[in-house]
Amino acid sequence: QVQLVESGGGSVQAGGSLRLSCAASGYTFSNYCMGWVRQAAGKQREWVSSISTDGTTSYADSVKGRFTISQDNAKNTLYLQMNSLKPEDTAMYYCAAVQRMYLSNTWFCPADFRYWGQGTQVTVSS
């Protein structure tokens, strides 16, 4: 079965950096669209970033220019490099995945993630 395990969270001061990792297993990694979603205490989940199977990346405006998503298909691992961290980045960060779909001669990523990791906490102090 699909399993996603995040790591790399921790506590840093504002302006610092962290790199999150998500080890995936149980499926063909290169056939899945991957992403990161975060949830701060008392708030709704917020999409952070996604990467499609062709390597196309997208980011929420709140992290654009500071965060970088990447993946290593050989290691079945997704990453999120987070630089210039702000206190408002404090949240539980979840790795997520959904299988790509084929329609009208085109592969695309469905809007909703299907599989989720258990999360890793990121705390940024001012």
Q: Which residues, in sequence order, are bridge partners of residue 75?
A: none
- What pLDDT score does 36 carry? 98
Q: How far apart, in whole angstroms, are the C-alpha atoms of residue 108 and residue 52? A: 8
- What pLDDT score does 30 carry? 85
Q: What is the pLDDT of residues 13-70, one digit of tens each?
A: 999 999 999 999 988 888 999 999 999 999 999 999 999 999 999 999 999 999 999 9
Burial 58-76 (b: 16+ CB within 10 A, else e): ebeeebeeebebebeeeeb
Mean pLDDT of the 73-78 span: 95
Average per-residue pLDDT for the chain? 96
- What pLDDT score does 68 carry? 98
Of residues 80 and 1, more confidently modeled? 80
Q: How far apart, in whole angstroms, are the C-alpha atoms of residue 8 and residue 116? A: 16
Are residues 20 and 121 in contact, defined by beta-carbon separation less than 8 angstroms?
no
- What pLDDT score does 52 carry? 95
* Residues ≥6 apart with Cβ < 8 Å to 32: 24, 53, 97, 98, 99, 100
